[in-house]
Structure 1
């Protein structure tokens, strides 16, 4: 964290000085007293089931040099004399304001990434591609909301050239708030799907919410979109530049000469119907990852990178775990995609399952969340898609299991289970040499437990 003063902080967050010590070393920002380092700024957040204002004394004892609070729930005489206190009306808003101020102090480019699916994979690809020329920071894990994104910004300093920041949301105005903090120079939108229909009701509203990433753009800003997506294809030219990528409709960056196997994507890029790139070969599976890579290439090219630099950078690709991780064991193959699930990512995972060599293709599927009134129909469509793609068996856990089975319409090769333990025991009984098993559900269902158990019998 670059140097920032007490007075800068109090002005940035519209705070009130409560205690001002003579010690003013601020090296990091924390919202969790369990992990708080010395010389940090502790911001006491409140939620439905917790109030961090209760832990100011603990933060002070652990070496916090500044605590930002919205309630006084401590005895000042019990604090470390090196701890200052600033009081604000709302600590969550203070976190956002301080991050926005700090971002403005940094001399770097910010790439913002959003979309219904593929955000994290695209983040990994963008960061890797850019690393061929620049020093790059990328969002860690899923720190992509109104608490996580500011904490990522506080980890930046001017040693970085570029920050690649993932931006998630569940409703309108959330991406707007993140964009106000991060002020992205370039924004990427992967697709507009049906995740969050429960809150937003229509895909058009989801598009509106995702487009908030451009709310603070100027004429030098760049928006890069996957125009194979039907709704993103409707985005018109704006004050800022719009670059369009795709396999079918990539006006500015289009993938051609595509080859896929269970471990790689292989293609070339045609730029603006003229220049054709060298072969792009990346050790990740799935046609959807070509779309994600095109966004990364468009971003890299807009920042002046050559294809040689991009290819060098992609050699450094580090993918986030539990996202289409193919585990070849001595007996069978596991496709671990247990991090999240939406209709688009389900189709992508089933497509990968269909392409992998093996005897029987088995899909273990759980609930897709936040689909609102369309939930049953969308789960049924995934069952239908699995059948079309030639999947041999589907096993389901969760509230929309019957919808999957109705779509798959093969009662002999499908079964619903009450819990994870039951499906694990069943697979242990029926799995054969060279089977391929896809495990996928929303994160809250903890399907990684299925994967871990399967790994134990696959040695």
Structure 2
């Protein structure tokens, strides 16, 4: 089944086609392009027009361009528009308009991608699901996800992100969700927003795009919950809170061998489910997901069963046993909220010396040094026996820690990688966290290499 014909794409964008074509997918990267894709020549770090010829050689059905590159024949299959990004947005809006899918949009300071993937797992047994790939949540990721949506989709799940004020509302108006969920509000991107309240206002703007009689799924246990609730009320949304006192709440949970078995009460129904990792924040977001997909129209027990198929992405809190240690790889990104949640997961793990390996948290604004020092006083930190860290900001944490809990500190992650064999010992439970720019994820890979167990040892008792 085709995704876009040249006729439909031209009608959606107002562009000009140079030849008839049919596209089965959409790509913005020649490295991952599949034959039959429409190649979209976006301008980002590189100008996509420089790769149009390569895309066509690799089997692209056509290319969406604002000019015909010199190395491309005038009669090549093209859709020529005034500006590529607005044309991609137009494709996204047209794809949204032609589908009868029920749409869930998710935002939050922490957990957007894992929550989106949980929702996909919950809904997959109940119909055709279209979900954003990886973390496609920005000004081109959202329209790209929409434009890739097949017309016969039953459930669509979108992730909406932001770095600056005013970014989420336009994305939500493009997505027109039936249900909008906020995972949490924390101190991320403080440089741009200045306060937690400012971040809450921006996150709450997701409700501006809700369809009539849409639902707002909000966390109940935050200092800024009222800001979220007020915004949902202004949008005319039906509000469902999740949390300790919400309409959706966990009743009990137990961790065993890296899995979490949960009983929850969701909109009046008791649901049991299992998550493939540990972490109270994962549990809470899963409960929010069950509320979201239930009001979206899914069957609650089938949704709860589907959650068992969810697996966290690399670097997003997965738990693994390797070479005599338990490793919690939460290295994809970090802010104070997600760090506290990850440390709580570490604290709840089975017995073993707790070791935290931390990289700088970025984009925290003028209070960044104080926010790093404050980690030493987190309740979740008190059971951590040893801390290794990298980055100039994390040095402030190290100075605030008692001497007997200070491990290695280095200016950058490369030094910790070189000393990976010294960081942990057999029996340790190891937690790794930091902003992507800190490159602390490389330390995870170095530990894996250092702790590889020879195959002959795997069968020893």
Equivalent in the alignment of 1:32: 29
* Matched pairs, number: 448
Report whether the alignment pairs 1:93 with 2:86: yes
Equivalent in the alignment of 2:240: 243
Supply the distance in 2 between the matched residues of 1:436 and 1:260 (Cα, whole angstroms): 15
Q: CA deviation at 1:435?
A: 1.3
Equivalent in the alignment of 2:431: 438
TM-score, normalising length: structure 2: 0.89
Bigger mean CA deviation after superposition, 110-119 or 443-452: 443-452
Equivalent in the alignment of 1:231: 224
Equivalent in the alignment of 1:148: 141
8 Å contact kept, 1:26–1:65: yes
Where structure 1 has 5 or more consecutive residues not aligned to the other structure, the ranges are none
Supply the distance in 2 between the matched residues of 1:35 and 1:257 (Cα, whole angstroms): 43
8 Å contact kept, 1:253–1:271: yes
In the TM superposition, what whole-angstrom CA distance separates every residue of 1:337-394 from its partner, at most 9, and x where no partner exists? Answer: 1111111111111111122234321111001111111211211122322775321111
Q: CA deviation at 1:2?
A: 4.6
Report whether the alignment pairs 1:368 with 2:361: yes
Report whether the alignment pairs 1:208 with 2:206: no
SS in 2 for 1:315: helix
Q: CA deviation at 1:230?
A: 2.0
SS in 1 for 2:309: coil
**Inter-CA distance 107–395: structure 2 relative to 1 (3 Å threshold):** same
- Of the three residues 263, 287, 305, the one matched with 2:258 is 263
8 Å contact kept, 1:262–1:355: no
Supply the distance in 2 between the matched residues of 1:140 and 1:3 (Cα, whole angstroms): 17
8 Å contact kept, 2:175–2:209: no
Q: CA deviation at 1:80?
A: 7.0
- Of the three residues 62, 68, 73, the one matched with 2:64 is 68
Equivalent in the alignment of 1:12: 12
SS in 2 for 1:131: helix
Equivalent in the alignment of 1:254: 249
Q: CA deviation at 1:262?
A: 6.3
Bigger mean CA deviation after superposition, 194-203 or 157-166: 157-166
Q: CA deviation at 1:209?
A: 1.6
- Of the three residues 35, 42, 52, the one matched with 2:48 is 52
Q: CA deviation at 1:179?
A: 1.6
Equivalent in the alignment of 1:422: 415
Equivalent in the alignment of 1:400: 393
Equivalent in the alignment of 1:83: 77
In the TM superposition, what whole-angstrom CA distance separates every residue of 1:274-318 from its partner, at most 9, and x where no partner exists? Answer: x35043333321111121011111012213444431232122223
Find runs of 4+ consecutive structure 1 residues off by over 6 angstroms: none
**Inter-CA distance 157–72: structure 2 relative to 1 (3 Å threshold):** closer
Equivalent in the alignment of 2:458: none
Supply the distance in 2 between the matched residues of 1:65 and 1:281 (Cα, whole angstroms): 43
Bigger mean CA deviation after superposition, 409-418 or 216-225: 409-418
Q: CA deviation at 1:65?
A: 4.3
Root mean square deviation of aligned Cα: 2.5
Bigger mean CA deviation after superposition, 287-296 or 168-177: 168-177
Supply the distance in 2 between the matched residues of 1:343 and 1:365 (Cα, whole angstroms): 12
Supply the distance in 1 between the matched residues of 2:426 and 2:435 (Cα, whole angstroms): 28
**Inter-CA distance 38–304: structure 2 relative to 1 (3 Å threshold):** closer
Report whether the alignment pairs 1:310 with 2:303: yes
Supply the distance in 1 between the matched residues of 2:13 and 2:372 (Cα, whole angstroms): 45
Q: CA deviation at 1:396?
A: 0.8
Q: CA deviation at 1:131?
A: 2.6
Equivalent in the alignment of 2:457: none
Bigger mean CA deviation after superposition, 193-202 or 277-286: 277-286
Supply the distance in 2 between the matched residues of 1:245 and 1:95 (Cα, whole angstroms): 35
8 Å contact kept, 1:128–1:318: no
- Of the three residues 99, 105, 129, the one matched with 1:106 is 99
Supply the distance in 2 between the matched residues of 1:116 and 1:139 (Cα, whole angstroms): 17
Where structure 2 has 5 or more consecutive residues not aligned to the other structure, the ranges are 454-461
**Inter-CA distance 184–306: structure 2 relative to 1 (3 Å threshold):** closer
Q: CA deviation at 1:245?
A: 0.7
